[in-house]
Amino acid sequence: MQPNFIEYDTNYSYSGQLGAVWSKEKTVFRMWSPAANEVRVNIYNEGNDGERISVIPMLCINGLWEAEVQGDLSGKYYTYTVRIGFIERETIDIYARSAGVNGIRGMIFDPASTCPKGWEKSSPVKLEKYTDAIIYELHVRDFSADESGSFKFRGKFKAFTEKNVKNTAGDTIGLDYLADLGITHIHLLPVADYFTVDESDNKPQYNWGYDPLNYNIPEGSYSTDPYDGLVRVKEFKELILAAHKKGIGVVMDVVYNHTYLTMDSPFNKSFPGYYYRQTYDGYFSNGSGCGNEFASEREMARKFIIDSLCYLAQEYKLDGFRFDLMGLIDIDTLNMAAEKLKEINPSIILYGEGWTGGASPLEESRRAVKSNTYKLPDYAMFSDDFRDTVKGNVFSDQSKGYINGADQQLEWKMKSVLCAGVRHPQIHYGHNWTDSPCQVVNYVEAHDNLTFHDKLRLSMPTASMEDLIHIDKLGAALVFFSQGIPFIQAGQEFLRSKPVPHCGFDHNSYASPDSVNSLKWNRLTEFRQLADYYKGLIAVRKKFPELRMASGDDIRKFINFTDLGGGAFIARMRSVVLAVNPTWQDREIIATGYIYADGEQASDTPLRECDGRTVCKSRSILLVAEE
Ligand code: CA
């Protein structure tokens, strides 16, 4: 039988502040567990070792357990002992805001003591509309782990604060380089405390971080001292401050869809079963493919997600959230969260994966999946349609897309994804799951699956390196010149590759070593011309609002297609003319104005003038604007 938790939602839910609320005079602890028979607070001097220095019984009113401790507890660590029947289990507070090593005990602290110098001047980036964002997906460790970069704080949050970092060829890398590239947001793979990297062991370890343990606590292995809970909070703020100083926003990748542990997770120790969905026969359901799924639709699980997002957005001045397997989160929770987050930061961007990782008991109509995008006006979703149309399906190495020689005609699909999938009078077959380009994230490469370059290599086995770069440029131009939100993975602009000795290329490098995952900064020098092309495309996108429309109506009104044969076409967008030619022949077009991008170069200052006939070269684009 499926356990029924509705009774708890109806009769026991609590809307006030949970967790350890610190002030100099006292700390108030509140935790919610109508299932518990007894709950005690344990106080420790340290985050891992040492005897408890005091135990405080909590009093229960209608499922809410509360205790008040006089005096200044800042710097102390704490846990709860929860007794249910005859079973007692000790757990970290699910609301804890920092912790000692490996996230076992929560920390009580004065948040003001974690603010780096200048923090009060740090503010999120201003964004008029989602389509103005240019997102760069990055893993904290990948950024600085490789020895080709002169970072002092390898693999740490602090690497983002380093200035004048160079690769071995002397080229500028690090955050200075990202600012120069022109991206508007860095999207960090999960930086909340995750389970599988042992923070107490300094040997090289790796995980993407989709194995969540504590949601409101930064990951300890990215700090210079995982034992002192203040350090990780402060150093994550330093990263954000450094980015904001460059005008770059920071997006957190959040994994509320499941927890790494199930039976022994802090949620399950606090209230067994409540925070997870069950199958009809009472087992943990597995819509995440990771052993459980978070029951976002239950009152206090929903409150947890919303409280967590609001706390992170406020405390860390974040610029956005990316939701992992967003399809497992119910629509109401996300809409309620968006309303509150927009109050905290009107420029915040919210987007996620509009699918699940397996079968879920959550009704289809309540899931934040692509087909329900219209019910989630503040959320964008990744366009796997764009990804697979441009370069071929991700589940087959050989499969080809529009740019790398697909057998079938993909012209309709390409036009459709170029228009963010919105309905358009000239497109009779497409990917229509939203009517707003602000809800569509366009990409050809992310942390999952092969890198764009590796995919091109495997799908075009006889292509030369020169050819592969040429096709890479065509794909990149489509990412930056399509309607929607452009998204690239870090290093894509210098042909990021994940070769595994004797095994081809890594599809799923979530726990692969640095040798596979880290950014090889010397490639920036090796493929400088390509990186400059990406930079130019970004500059062109920023220059022309025609490439960043905000509504389906504008797209229908202002974009007009002309076919050039063989899958090539022209998209006229007011004063901007974009020719797209995936064929092996050059195509002549008629246009007047200035050329800002072709298959070789892109810049926000004109490359050359064109007056009448001009050529869009084979397997490339041409962008002409009137001024
Ligand atoms: Ca951790």
Both tokens of 423, joined, read 């309905």
For residues 344 and 444, give the distance between their C-alpha atoms in angstroms, rounded to a whole number.
32
Residue 429 has pLDDT above 80, yes or no: no
pLDDT tens, position by position, 53-109: 999 999 999 999 999 999 999 999 999 999 999 999 999 999 999 999 999 999 999
Phi/psi of residue 237, nearest 5 degrees? -65, -35
C-alpha dist (Å) from residue 314 to 257, 320, 326, 343, 485: 22, 11, 22, 10, 24
- The least confident of 32-46, 244-258, 402-416, 514-528 is 402-416
Distance 506 CA to ligand 1 centre (A): 24
The percent of residues in the chain predicted with pLDDT above 90, rounded, is: 96
pLDDT tens, position by position, 269-301: 999 999 999 998 889 999 999 999 999 999 999
Q: Which residue has the tokens 């994966």?
A: 353
Residue numbers annotated as active site: 324, 353
* Strand pairing category for 249-254 and 185-188: parallel
* DSSP conformation class of 222: G
pLDDT confidence bin for 3, thresholds 50/70/90: low
Distance 29 CA to ligand 1 centre (A): 23
**In the 3-class helix/strand/coil scheme, how is 331-352 assigned residue by residue?**
HHHHHHHHHHHHHHCCCCEEEE
The percent of residues in the chain predicted with pLDDT above 70, rounded, is: 100
* pLDDT score for 1: 45
Tell me how many degrees the CA angle 591-594-595 measures, rounded to the nearest 5.
Answer: 85
* pLDDT score for 431: 80
Distance 193 CA to ligand 1 centre (A): 4
Distance 609 CA to ligand 1 centre (A): 55
Quick count: other Cβ atoms within 10 Å of Cβ 561? 18
- List, in sequence order, every beta strand (DSSP E) within 274-366: 320-323, 349-352
Quick count: other Cβ atoms within 10 Å of Cβ 32? 28
**Mean of the per-residue pLDDT values for the chain?**
97
Distance 103 CA to ligand 1 centre (A): 6
For residues 352 and 369, give the distance between their C-alpha atoms in angstroms, rounded to a whole number.
9
Residue 2 has pLDDT above 70, yes or no: no
Pick from 397, 102, 315: which is nearest to 223 by CA?
Answer: 102
Distance 510 CA to ligand 1 centre (A): 15
Report long-range pairs for 332-339 (Cβ below 8 Å, ≥24 apart): 332/297, 332/302, 332/366, 333/296, 333/297, 333/302, 333/305, 333/306, 334/368, 334/376, 334/379, 335/375, 335/376, 335/378, 336/302, 336/306, 337/305, 337/306, 337/309, 337/310, 338/376, 338/378, 338/379
C-alpha dist (Å) from residue 44 to 80, 100, 317, 541: 11, 11, 30, 54
pLDDT tens, position by position, 334-358: 999 999 999 999 999 999 999 999 9
Average pLDDT estimate for 237-243: 98
Distance 511 CA to ligand 1 centre (A): 14
| Contact yes or no for 189/139 (Cβ under 8 A) | yes
* pLDDT score for 627: 80
| Contact yes or no for 397/458 (Cβ under 8 A) | yes
